Amino acid sequence: MTDLASPATNSPIAALRTAYLAVRNMLGRLPFSLIQLAMRISIGFVFFNSGLLKARSFEFAVKLFQDEYRLPLLPPELAARLAMSVEIVVPLFLFAGLATRLATLPLLGMVIVIQVLVYPQAWVEHLLWASALVVLLTRGPGVLSLDHLIERRLAQQKAD
């Protein structure tokens, strides 16, 4: 009599499970730093491209802030200039992996403002952006970053 809890080793289910475990183990060996780098680049370009678009047609950006975004407390021209500046400068820090955790904060703030005040129906996209930023905030930029090189250098100096 065979045990029903453990399928025979030659069964298709056992072969499928073995293949699944092999693929899962292979994917588990992918360095997390590559994923962190991809997150830094992808979320950085979301904001960087938006900032470039505002810079290329600043008058249109002001009009958007005036007619569509309508942020409270900020005049449209100031809001457009602030958004453009943050969207162009902060992603550069993400690309380099420099002050990465700090750089995520203004972008997370922008995501929250966009979600709450501008496009609440686009929560799926905003959740994706926020998720990538929260991973970078909580886990850091990874070893493929200037932050990592600086931390390594400081640790060496402290050890000496």
Model pLDDT, residue 160: 80
Q: For 119, left (φ over 0), alpha (ψ -120 to 50), or beta?
A: beta
Q: Per-domain residue ranges for the chain?
A: 33-159
- Structure pTM? 0.86
28-64: pLDDT as tens digits: 999 999 999 999 999 999 999 999 999 999 999 999 9
Cα 59 to its chain centre, rounded Å, is 29
Residue with tokens 């029903």: 4
The pair of three-digit structure tokens given for residue 38, joined into one six-digit string:
């991809």
